[in-house]
Amino acid sequence: MAKKQDLTLEKGKTFKFVLRWEDRETNVYKAITGITAAAPAVVTATGHGVPDGWDVAIVSVKGMTQINAANSPPKDKDYTPATKLSDNTLELNAVNAAGYSTYTSGGYVQYYKPHALAGVTARMMVKDKVGGTVLLTSEGLTPTITVTVDDTAKSITITISATDTAALTWKKGVYDLEGVDGSTVYSLLSGSVTVEPEVTT
């Protein structure tokens, strides 16, 4: 089932949205060997395999227990984006651990397995209503949506140019984003699209 995500376009401004495709049926756990009591916190987990910008949760840490996810299993609000510093270290930019207890041992970086994107394509369409008139599409009409699949970053990026958003004459629509992997079509995102007027022209 598609994740619900409402989008807002501003006329005359470039629109960009990055989706990181998680296989939510599979959790990955990587053992932690250290966490800095600093702002931001840096986690050491050898061979963590986390793509840059991926959401992670920290679980089962001893000593610095304040950094652990509040729920078991973690809920969506327990995850935070991680910056990949190296193959063995991650920065949690949103986590200020300067006042936390000292890390002593254990714990895991927990995250959803990234979907392999080699050979995957993606497509998106905006209509005035379900089954209605096409307003925007990645399927070759103008104005157009550019959908870029990046297997290295495990991401799908949606871009609409400033020129194309400036040309929009409608205010509300609905959309969905699909991923195509071989003969399988996945519903990735869906929701409403709102177009707001441009202030600075």
pLDDT at 143 over 80: no
State yes or no: cis peptide before 73, omega within 30 of 0: yes
When pLDDT is cut at 50, 70 and 90, the band that residue 3 belongs to is confident
Nearest by Cα to 89 from 53, 49, 37: 49
Domain spans, the chain: 3-21+117-196, 23-114
What confidence tier does 121 reach under pLDDT thresholds 50, 70, 90? very high
Mean pLDDT of 113-134: 95
pLDDT at 1: 58
Q: Is the pLDDT higher at 143 or at 67?
A: 67
Q: Is the pLDDT of residue 201 over 80?
A: no
pLDDT value, residue 85: 98
Q: What is the pLDDT averaged over residues 141-156?
A: 90
Residues 6+ positions from 97 with CB-CB distance below 8 Å: 35, 36, 37, 38, 39, 40, 41, 64, 66, 67
For the segment(s) 3-21+117-196, the CATH number from 2.60.40.10, 3.40.50.720, 3.40.50.2300, 3.40.50.300 is 2.60.40.10
Please choose, from the candidates 120, 135, 126, 113, the residue with its C-alpha nearest in 3D space to the C-alpha of residue 177: 126
Alpha helices in 68-107 (DSSP H): none
Total number of residues shown for the chain: 201
Under the banding of pLDDT at 50, 70 and 90, the label for residue 108 is very high
How far apart, in Å, are the Cα atoms of 158 and each of 28, 93, 144, 153? Answer: 27, 24, 11, 14
C-alpha span between 166 and 171 (Å, rounded): 12
Tens digits of residue pLDDT in 25-60:
999 999 999 999 999 999 999 999 999 999 999 999
* pLDDT for 8: 98
> How far apart (Å, rounded) are the C-alpha atoms in residues 51 and 20?
9
Q: Domain 23-114: give its CATH architecture.
A: Beta Barrel (2.40)
Percent of the chain at pLDDT > 90 equals 92
Return the closest-CA partner of residue 109 out of 22, 31, 21.
31
Averaged pLDDT for residues 54-78: 97
